[in-house]
Amino acid sequence: MRVEDAIVKGISITLTSEENELFATLREVGRAYEKGIIDYASVPDVGGSGKCMEGKVRKGASGSEERQVEIRVAGGWVRDKLLGLLSDDVDIAVDIMSGHEFAVLVQRYLALQGVQPAKISVIAANPSQSKHLETATMKIHGLECDMVHLRGGEVYSDTSRIPTLKTDVTPLDDALRRDFTINALFYSVTHARLEDWTGRGIRHLLATPKESRRLTTPLHALTTFKDDPLRILRAVRFAVRFDIQLHHDIHHAAATQEVTDSLMRKVSRERVGKELDGMLQGKAARPAAALCLLVHLGLADSVFSFHAALPVTGHLEGSTYANARLPLQHRIIGWHEARLMVQCSLQMLPTFETSFAQLLPPTSTSPQPTSSKKQKKSNQSQPSSLDQRMMYIATFLYPFRNLSHNVKGKTSSITSYIVRESLKFKNNDVHDVNTIMNNVDALRDVLSKSYIQSTTPRTSLTSSSVPFCRMEVGLILRNLKELWVTALLIAAVAETRSIQKEIAAVETQQQPQSQETISTLLTVQNEQDHSMTSCLEGALQFYHDIHSQSLDGCWKLRPLLDGRALIQSLDLPRGPIVGKYMQEQVRWMLLHPSSTSNTVESSKYDCESYLKGLRQRELVEENERTISA
């Protein structure tokens, strides 16, 4: 493609004053280099061979040699500016030297102008982290700039997503080696113009109506994803973030065995987990849409993978396993249910969050969505809040909660294996997922028995009649701690899906699929919508009751009697029995909340009397068993 064909006409980028100042400086650096005023002599290639890259020379009109450098801004900054989004990171690509060498030119130019030279940091080439060339970073006029040589001409192997690179490349080479056409646009600083070397980037990014915009690869999608399969996950993240439809070539490529095999073989699990985390949080993240798209593309089993030969025990969506392999078709059923649960949580989430402030007692402070880790470090008087990131992770993995595997005689849940081994998330995430999975069904049982009213005559469900038990609920919350609000929404979603599946099953028995009518389908839909409303209302009432019963934070209750006091008062032997009576003390305190407002001595006396009576009965029963034996 000729330069003239790549120039974009009729579309311009509006620069901020800082960007104008930055680009003016970069142009002056280029002119000073071309005139021989500054040079990068003796600058080592820090991330590579230790040698300098030889600058190119071009023939001028008279046939003499001229040093010319083309300075371009590439990728995300151009895309975001065209979309009217803020972008603080500027990726600069130069054509005849390394990024480090150009950064030194900037530094030397600024020094000539009497400006304190900015510090240069060099990120060495690290292809396993998608850094194929060394990158120099420095702050210029308040803007963070990454500087790199144009990239292109990669040669990929069958066993790695890390290519062999060449440095004698053109802007077209660089554009074609990028992941998507919308990320392959350039802004020429040298000539103050937009360049679209693929000829499709502008159309795919800015087409009207918006529905006609497409995310596609510069080269054939199958080739692109086989070479670097991480890009299929980036496709999901970008499509969701910018609300752009995936090109049908991407759909076809994602469905191929070659791409899923390459994703499993070439990409480290750390990179997979990092890409997933980018879908779950951060700028313009839409976790539910991303997770659903992963299922739709058939990628969930590759992202949330567990070894195909791993024998499992437990049950998944009606199928039971006893130390047996989990067939792919059964895993797909599980991921389909995971998608439906995430969609359900997305429908519930806005009401769930906006109702917090209205349901809290007047003395409480409205909670703000945060992560459980941040909450643990924050003011402890704040009400527990929803951890959205963990909510989406645990909701998506919920269908697999009853599966486990045995490693060296130790049983471990499949959900913890996925978080720890497949995603390489931190230990805190593994702990939180385990905590939720171990307690969410108990919380769901409380909702079902005491809070969720069923008025659907088509099912065998009955209206709730079991009263709220402060001790039972308090023990569940003591296990979940700050995660109880997150687990509450997951429990409401799980109960909703359970009722909806029962409604669908009853309808299937009463009305064969071939005889389904629009009226019947609408009736089923209305009943399923009603089940969601009922579960949501029950969860919100439960949330209110937790605060009105002063149970939020019950895991922080200090025991009235410590271990030593229990041993002395009850004449207990040292050992596990002390923990048993410590738990009985907690139960008593939960059943007698007024004890916390009484004087310490009075509460301690009442609790101690109860525990002594319990101990005496236990000793009598032991005596009777001994005599009968």
| Position 53 pLDDT exceeds 60 | no
Neighbours of 141 (CB within 10 A): 17
Q: What's the pLDDT band for 476 if we cut at 50, 70, 90?
A: very high
Q: What sign does the dihedral 169-172-175-177 (CA atoms) show?
A: negative
Task: State residue 513's pLDDT score.
Answer: 55
In this prediction, residue 129 has a pLDDT band, given cuts at 50, 70 and 90, of very low
Report the C-alpha gap between 263 and 258 in whole angstroms.
9
pLDDT for the residue 523:
63
Q: Which amino acid is at 580?
A: K
For the cut 80, the answer to whether the pLDDT of residue 156 exceeds it is: no
Give the per-residue pLDDT at 542: 95
pLDDT at 8 over 80: yes
Using DSSP, state whether 413 is helix, strand or coil: strand
- b/e for 95-134, b at 16 or more Cβ within 10 A? bbbbbbbbbbbbbbbbeeeeeeebebebbebeeeeeebbb
**How far is Cα 485 from Cα 504, in angstroms, rounded to an integer?**
29
DSSP 529-551: HHHHHHHHHHHHHHHHHHHHTT-
Binned at pLDDT 50, 70 and 90, residue 599 comes out as confident
Residue-wise pLDDT for 43-52, tens only, equals: 544 444 334 4
Report the helix count and the strand count for the chain, using DSSP H and E: 25, 15
What does the pLDDT read at residue 465? 67
What pLDDT, on a 0 to 100 scale, did the predictor assign at position 310?
A: 80
| pLDDT(370) > 90 | no
The two tokens of residue 109 are 């130019």
Q: What is the full DSSP assignment across 276-340? A: HHHHHSSTT--HHHHHHHHHHTT-HHHHT---TT--EEEEETTEEEEEE---HHHHHHHHHHHHH
Distance CA 490, CA 114 (A): 60
What is the per-residue pLDDT for 57? 44
User: Which of these ranges, 70-74, 362-366, 618-622, has the smallest mean pLDDT?
Assistant: 362-366
* pLDDT given for residue 49 in this prediction: 37
pLDDT of residue 55: 45
pLDDT, tens only, 401-421: 999 998 778 889 999 999 999
What's the burial of 469, exposed, middle or buried (CB within 10 Å: 0-12/13-18/19+)?
A: middle
Percent of the chain with pLDDT over 90: 64
Predicted pLDDT at 89: 87
Whole-number pLDDT of residue 103: 95
- 418-459: pLDDT as tens digits: 999 999 999 999 999 999 999 999 999 999 999 986 544 444
* Res 457: pLDDT: 43
For residue 428 the two structure tokens come to 């805190």
- pLDDT at position 431 is 98
- pLDDT value for 381: 65
Mean pLDDT of 163-175: 76
Tokens 């692109």 identify what position?
224
% of the chain beyond a pLDDT of 70: 82
User: Do 557 and 589 contact (CB within 8 A), yes or no?
Assistant: yes
**Quick one: pLDDT band at residue 200, thresholds 50, 70, 90?**
very high
> Residues 29, 35, 41, 47: is their CA dihedral positive or negative?
positive
pLDDT of residue 409: 80
Region of poorest pLDDT, from 109-123, 367-381, 501-515, 526-540: 367-381
The model's pLDDT over 252-286, given as tens digits with 9 standing for 90+, comes to 999 999 999 999 999 999 999 999 999 999 888 99
Residue 628: what pLDDT? 85
Q: What is the pLDDT of residues 486-540, one digit of tens each?
A: 999 999 999 999 999 988 877 666 665 555 566 655 666 777 788 889 999 999 9
Give the position of tokens 């646009």. 185
The pLDDT of residue 362 = 63
Instruction: Tally Cβ neighbours within 10 Å of residue 2.
Output: 7
Specify the pLDDT at position 578: 95
| Domains within the chain, CATH numbers bracketed | 3-206 (3.30.460.10), 207-303 (1.10.110.30), 316-555 (no CATH), 563-628 (no CATH)
**Mean pLDDT across 162-171:** 67
Most trustworthy range by pLDDT among 338-347, 369-378, 452-461: 338-347
**Mind listing the pLDDT tens digit for each residue in 572-590?**
999 999 999 999 999 999 9
265 by DSSP, 3-state: which?
helix
Residue pair 390/486 in contact (Cβ under 8 Å)? The answer is yes
